Structures are given as C-alpha cells and as structure tokens.
C-alpha cells in the first residue's frame, strides 16, 4: 500500500493526463440510470463532483493495478477532495492475478489502513480490477460503498455495469463472487488513450456482442467504420452501454434475459480458462471473439441465423482478431470447462444464440456432438 505522500513522482504525469481529456471530440455528458445507481459517461473532471453530493465518507481507498496507477491515477488524483484521508492500494495487473491471493492482499491493505464501514472504495482499472476491488469492498466489514471508474473499453461497456463481482477459482472463471451494485460508475473514454491496442481490440469484442444481440443498426455501422474510428468513438460506447443497461435493468440477478449477454461466452470462457494454462494466454475479448464465431455457427445450425449473417460475422471477427487454432485434443477439456458454466441448467450446456442479427434466444442447448462440430468448423474458417 502506498500512502498519499509517495505520490510526488506522479505529479509530472498529471499535466499529461489532463491534456488527454481534451484529445477527444467530447460529447455532452450522458447519465444513464440502472438498478438505482447512475452511470456517467463523459469527462471525469465534469462528472466526479456529483459524487461528493451523494454521501459523506470517512476516508477514500483507491484500488488500482500497477498500470492504472501509472496511467490513470494521475487523472483521478487531482479530483479527489483534499480533506479526506486517502489510501492507495496497488495490486499486480492481469487476469493471472484475479484470484483469492490478490483479494487477501486487498483486504489486508484495507485492514492496515484502518478503513471503517463509512469509507469509500474507488476501483480504478479494467474488468479484473473492478471485479476484484468491488468484491473486496462488498465483503470487507460486510460491505463498503464503492465506485467503479473503468479504464478499459471492456470495463467501460461491460464489466463495470451490472454488479457482478468476483474472482477466478479452481481453474474456473469468476467461480467465486457476489452481486452488489456500486453507488456510481464514471466512464471517461479519455482513459483509453493509454490502453494498449491489443486491450482495445479485446474490449471491442463486447461492443460487437452488444450489437449482435440487440442493435442491428450499430452492427451495420461497425461493419462500415474503420476500426480505429469505431473504438475511439463515444457514440459507439454510449450505444453499447445502453444495450447492457437495458438488459441488466430488466434482469438484475441473471434469472432470464440477462443470459443474453452470454452470447459467445459459453465457448469463450472455456477457451479463456484453457488458454490461461498454455503458452499463449488469450485476453477475455479475444476468447469471446473466437467464442462468438463458434456460437454463430451453432446459431446457424440450431436457431435459424441466416448463412449470410454467419459469413458476415466470421469475416468481421477474422479481420480484427488473431485467433488461435484449437487442437482436437483440447475439445474434451473445453467441453468439461463449459459444463462448469454457471448458466447451465439440468446438466445441459446452455447458450445464448442468435436467430437473427439484433435478436437473441437464451437457454438454447447444444449437445456435445454439436459443440464438437462447431469447434471443428471454427478451425476450418480461421
């Protein structure tokens, strides 16, 4: 844990970071309401002051990883109120650290900082950081208020909204966790300018998913726009956010409709977990991109997705992502991993499939033979 006095070396980054805020062609602020909290989309400097009207906290703990400490903390730090005790908790970056050991480190730092239940936790980072920092805040002393400030595209359009928190356990993604909502989410696309290109593409997979399941017009727009302009476009983020917001609002605890967000994820999560142990780990969105291809095939086979749309999806995803070939020897393990998916019911592997672009059918089941065929087909179209 670092205390406020060790921040001096980062002041030189503050000016640079603040300049980034002006890089964007800024849209007016947007506020979306979901499950009783507000998602603010726009400049952090403009939006964050509303937070201090929402409550009175005894202290602030900012949780970041080593990268967001370097690149994002300088943007946030000048916006925090000077009168509150400030504690910084910096954890190692990356999915490989999304485990109970890192949570123990966060809880230990919270204890050492003497955080009371009246403290506020601010999670500054991507989906890994937000899921874990949120989980630790939600469980420490039976729950502290927390705010999500997502700094990756993936976290901005997806992970920071909906209240799912947790970490990987026993080789299974997100197998330990809780539902708990933040008190607010602040999305500032200016953070994305320091995000590595590979991470941007990874996050873009969730933008593609939202378009495919619920926004056919956005899908057409994405297909026509050059990738560079699509990923740096606040309007694209807003439309994508609206899909997630509407689905989460309709089904906050994943009893039904929310399973729609699982398109690409039954196979994608298995690929992500499988690759974690291999020499070339996949980023979440890369795994989901491959998963969307295989599940688009299942959609064509089982749910009536027109063949032309299947081809459109394959061409678009292939253009953007380097995709792994799957050795046939991995199929058993992949199917075993799919069996662990929390969305399965009655022992069947459950999918969200597309009957058409912009529509989704939850609780679609595919047997092992169909899944194997989809994985074989995926290898042939790479």
Ligand X SMILES: NC(=O)c1ccc[n+]([C@@H]2O[C@H](COP(=O)([O-])OP(=O)(O)OC[C@H]3O[C@@H](n4cnc5c(N)ncnc54)[C@H](O)[C@@H]3O)[C@@H](O)[C@H]2O)c1
The residues assigned a catalytic role are 142, 164, 206, 244, 254, 258, 262, 265, 269, 284
Taking the CA atoms of residue 292, residue 302, residue 382 and residue 218 in that order, the dihedral angle to the nearest 10 degrees is -40
Asked if 162 interacts with ligand X (CB under 6 A), we say yes
Asked if 210 interacts with ligand X (CB under 6 A), we say no
Burial zone of 26 (CB within 10 Å; 0-12 exposed, 13-18 middle, 19+ buried)? middle
Rounded distance between C-alpha atoms, residue 346 and residue 362, angstroms: 15
Q: Quick one: which of 21, 34, 44, 67 contacts ligand X (CB under 6 A)? A: 67
Asked if 156 interacts with ligand X (CB under 6 A), we say no
**DSSP character for 348?**
B
Asked if 72 interacts with ligand X (CB under 6 A), we say yes
Asked if 284 interacts with ligand X (CB under 6 A), we say yes
- Name every residue whose Cβ is closer than 8 Å to that of residue 39 and which is 6 or more positions away in sequence: 31, 32, 33, 160, 161, 184, 185, 187, 241, 245
Asked if 68 interacts with ligand X (CB under 6 A), we say yes
Nearer Cβ to ligand X (151/361)? 151
Q: In what order do the strands lie in the sheet with 59-65?
A: 2-3, 85-91, 59-65, 120-125, 145-150, 184-187, 37-41, 30-34
Asked if 128 interacts with ligand X (CB under 6 A), we say yes
Rounded distance between C-alpha atoms, residue 312 and residue 334, angstroms: 26
Least distance from C-beta 154 to ligand X, angstroms? 4
Stretch of 55-63, 149-157, 324-332, 342-350 lying at the interface with ligand X (CB under 6 A): 149-157
Stretch of 27-35, 90-98, 249-257, 355-363 lying at the interface with ligand X (CB under 6 A): 90-98
Residue nearest to ligand X (CB): 127
Nearer Cβ to ligand X (173/181)? 173
Asked if 93 interacts with ligand X (CB under 6 A), we say yes
């Amino acid at each position: 844990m670092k205390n406020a006095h060790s921040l001096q070396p980062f002041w030189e980054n503050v000016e640079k970071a603040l300049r980034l805020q002006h890089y964007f062609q800024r849209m007016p602020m947007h506020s979306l309401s979901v499950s009783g909290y507000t998602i603010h989309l726009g400049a952090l400097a403009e939006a964050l002051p509303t937070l201090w009207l929402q409550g009175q906290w005894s202290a602030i703990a900012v949780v970041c990883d080593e990268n967001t400490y370097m690149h994002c903390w300088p943007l946030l730090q000048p916006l925090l109120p000077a009168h509150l005790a400030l504690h910084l908790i910096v954890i190692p970056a990356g999915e490989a650290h999304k485990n109970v050991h890192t949570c123990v480190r966060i809880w230990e730092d919270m204890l050492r900082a003497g955080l009371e239940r009246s403290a506020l936790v601010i999670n500054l980072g991507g989906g890994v950081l937000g899921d874990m920092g949120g989980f630790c805040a939600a469980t420490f002393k039976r729950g502290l208020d927390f705010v999500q400030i997502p700094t990756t595209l993936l976290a901005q359009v997806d992970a920071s909204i909906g209240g799912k928190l947790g970490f990987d356990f026993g080789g299974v993604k997100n197998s330990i966790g809780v539902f708990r909502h933040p008190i607010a989410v602040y999305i500032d696309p200016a953070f994305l300018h320091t995000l590595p290109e590979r991470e941007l593409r990874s996050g873009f997979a969730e933008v593609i998913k939202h378009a495919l399941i619920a926004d056919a017009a956005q899908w057409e727009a994405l297909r026509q726009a050059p990738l560079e302009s699509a990923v740096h476009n606040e309007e694209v983020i807003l439309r994508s956010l609206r899909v997630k917001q509407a689905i989460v609002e309709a089904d906050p605890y994943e009893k039904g409709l929310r399973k729609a967000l699982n398109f690409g994820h039954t196979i994608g999560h298995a690929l992500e977990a499988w690759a974690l142990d291999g020499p070339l780990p996949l980023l979440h969105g890369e795994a989901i991109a491959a998963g969307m291809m295989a599940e688009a095939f299942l959609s064509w086979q089982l749910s009536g997705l027109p063949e032309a749309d299947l081809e459109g999806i394959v061409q678009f995803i292939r253009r953007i992502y380097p995709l792994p070939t799957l050795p046939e020897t991995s199929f058993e393990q992949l199917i075993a991993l799919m069996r662990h998916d929390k969305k399965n019911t009655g022992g069947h592997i459950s999918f969200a499939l597309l009957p058409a672009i912009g529509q989704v059918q939850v609780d679609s089941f595919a047997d092992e033979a169909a899944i194997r065929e989809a994985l074989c087909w995926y290898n042939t179209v790479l």
